[in-house]
Amino acid sequence: MSDPSEALASARAAADRILRVKRLNACLTPIKELRKSLVTQASAAHPSGVLYGMPVAVKDNICTLEFTTSCGSKILEGYRSPYEATAVAKLKAAGALIAGKTNCDEFGMGSSTEHSAYGRSLHPFDKARVPGGSSGGSAALVAAGAVPAALGSETGGSVRQPASLCGVVGIKPTYGRVSRYGLVAFGSSLDQIGVLGRSVHDAARVLSVISGRDPRDATCEDRDSLRLPNVPESLQGFVIGVPKEYFPQDLDPAVRRACDRAIRLLRELGAAVREVSLPHTPYAVATYYIIAPAEASSNLARYDGARYGPRFNGSADVRALYRTTRGEGFGPEVRRRVLVGTYVLSSGYYDAYYRKAQQMRALIAQDFRNAFDRGVDLLFTPTTPTPAFKAGEKLDDPVAMYLSDIFTVTANLAGLPAISLPIGRIKGLPIGGQLVGQAFLEDEMLEAAYALERAVPAGEEA
């Protein structure tokens, strides 16, 4: 596309499609505002850009100038950022159109998009179920065909898990591949902006655009943008490890069947597949749910009603202002995590929890290094232990909700790239398979994903 009239038509069509799936509560931007902005953006977009005219929705915890950034939270209701995320600026420079802000669990804390102050998002194929989270709005919009791609963010699997549950592709890049500037911080040593797309190619080309160095983020590596690989004829020469810890006895039978079929297809494509062990995997969720809340309790200290966002109980003294604003502004899951994070960092508990978790994180990262050092190029696992679960099913049991992330948190803890792609269905509900790559070798991971995507009958019952 290089014709301004086509970009304009693309903008209008995107607004129409988003309106048609309004019932999903996936897009938080009012449709009138969205339509107007899309038309303005299309008129100003760069026709030479590689994403010219492509509508890309953006998770509500990534700062944009066009729309509010509420992070799915009452404490940032109506907040307009005075700057935009580098990833968003890069998208616009490539000619993409920012197609509104997507619903998410508050500050990215959740696995179902039920923890949003703006209501839950619905699964696109079964309204009684969740789309996953925290980037559930982004996943639902892509799965419903409203946009070809959307930005999400990951701290423990918040792109891959909803991608898996909604039947789309989700990529979490290597930590440091994409700038975090303008991504509202949750767990800074884990957070990364990721991409959800209809296909590996759609997601990969958006990732390629947003990747690369950024002097505004000291944790962003000084590297060129990701170069997209070609679609390979075969996977001859690839060694793919299958970690046995990701296939427990109680794994959902349909997920196991879909994974077995995907592994068979990887072999048929020419890859050598071998079983490997990542022995510290069983401790990953526990490790994650110490480190992430600890970092969150620190990052979220800035929300106090003094500098931005709404203020609750403004007439009290300043301490009461802080406490009331935070008490009323944060939802139940954020409150829980801030308290758990404060607890594990407090004097007397720091060594038993936080310090130990840091050691466990190192052991988990070492597990991956050991597998890769033994000649494995990539790992294949299920993305989630089950297909999409029912709304409300895990709301009263935080630990049960946390276990939804059991196969995804390890890549965040180890800073590695990973991709989820559809590998089958059970009773119409999508099942996702995950490839985990070596740091900064997204190109290899994408090659294998391209090949598997072409081979796998993703719409077929497992």
Partner 1 sequence: MSVTHDEARKIAQLAELDVSEDALPLLAEQMSRILEYVAQINSVPASEGVKPFVPGPDAVRFRPDEVKPAPLAFGPAELAPAFRDGFFLVPKLGQFEDADA
Residues in region 59-88 near partner 1 by CB under 8 A: 65, 79-80, 82-83
Buried b (16+ CB within 10 A) or exposed e, 422-435: bbbbbeebbbbbbb
Torsion of the alpha carbons at 135, 140, 146 and 152, rounded to the nearest 10: 10
Q: How far is the CB of 141 from partner 1 (least distance, A)?
A: 26
Pairing outcome for strands 169-172 and 239-243: unpaired
In the complex, least distance from residue 403 CB atom to partner 1, rounded to whole angstroms: 9
**189, 199, 225, 370: residue in contact with partner 1 (rule CB under 8 A):** 189
Asked if 428 interacts with partner 1 (CB under 8 A), we say: no
Identity (one letter) of the amino acid at 378?
L
**Which lies closer to partner 1 via its Cβ, residue 199 or residue 225?**
225
Per DSSP, the three-state class of 344 is: helix
Shortest reach from residue 174's CB to partner 1, in Å = 8
The window from 22-30, 104-112, 217-225, 256-264 that contacts partner 1 (CB under 8 A) reads 217-225
Residues 89-148 touching partner 1, rule: CB under 8 A, are none
Q: Where do we find the tokens 């797309």?
A: 197
Mark 386-425 with x for binding to partner 1 (rule: CB under 8 A) and - for no binding: ------------xx--x----------xxx----------
Query: If binding is defined by CB under 8 A, does position 385 make contact with partner 1?
Result: no
The token pair that represents 187 in the structure block: 């767990």
**172 is a site residue for partner 1 (CB under 8 A):** no
Alpha-helical segments (H) within 135-250: 136-143, 160-166, 200-210
The reply to whether 310 sits near partner 1 by the rule CB under 8 A is: yes
Q: Measured between alpha carbons, how far is residue 418 from residues 359, 405, 445 in Å?
A: 23, 14, 8
Task: Give the interface size with partner 1 as a residue count (CB under 8 A).
Answer: 73
- The candidate with the shortest Cα–Cα distance to 266, out of 387, 447, 112, is 447
Nearer of residues 9 and 286 to partner 1, judged by Cβ: 286
- Site track 261-280 with partner 1 (rule: CB under 8 A), x = hit: -------------------x
Which residue, chain included where needed, has tokens 């079964």? 126
Q: How far is the CB of 5 from partner 1 (least distance, A)?
A: 29
Is 277 a residue of the active site? no
- With CB under 8 A as the contact rule, which of the stretches 16-24, 134-142, 245-253, 324-332 interacts with partner 1? 324-332
Residue 297 found at the interface with partner 1 (CB under 8 A):
yes
> Phi/psi of residue 452, each to 5°?
-65, -40
340 binds partner 1 (CB under 8 A): yes
Q: Is 59 part of the annotated catalytic residue set?
A: yes
Binding flags for partner 1, 344-373, as an x/- string (CB under 8 A): x-x-----xx--xxxxxxxxxxx-------
Specify the DSSP class assigned to residue 310. -
Lookup result for tokens 């604003």: 325
**Rounded to the nearest 5°, which phi and psi values hold at 191?**
-60, 135
CB burial class (10 A; 0-12, 13-18, 19+) of residue 249?
A: exposed
Show the binding pattern over residues 4-33: x = contacts partner 1 (CB under 8 A), - = does not.
------------------------------
Does residue 283 interact with partner 1 by CB under 8 A? yes
Give the H or E element holding residue 59: strand 55-59
Number of Cβ atoms within 10 Å of the Cβ of 399: 10
Catalytic residue, chosen from 70, 73, 121, 134, is 134
Beta-bridge mates of residue 434: 381, 420
Instruction: Return the amino acid letter for 67.
Output: F
Min CB(288)–partner 1 separation in Å = 9
Is the Cβ of residue 305 or residue 432 nearer to partner 1 in the bound state?
305
Q: Any idea which residues carry the catalytic annotation?
A: 59, 134, 158
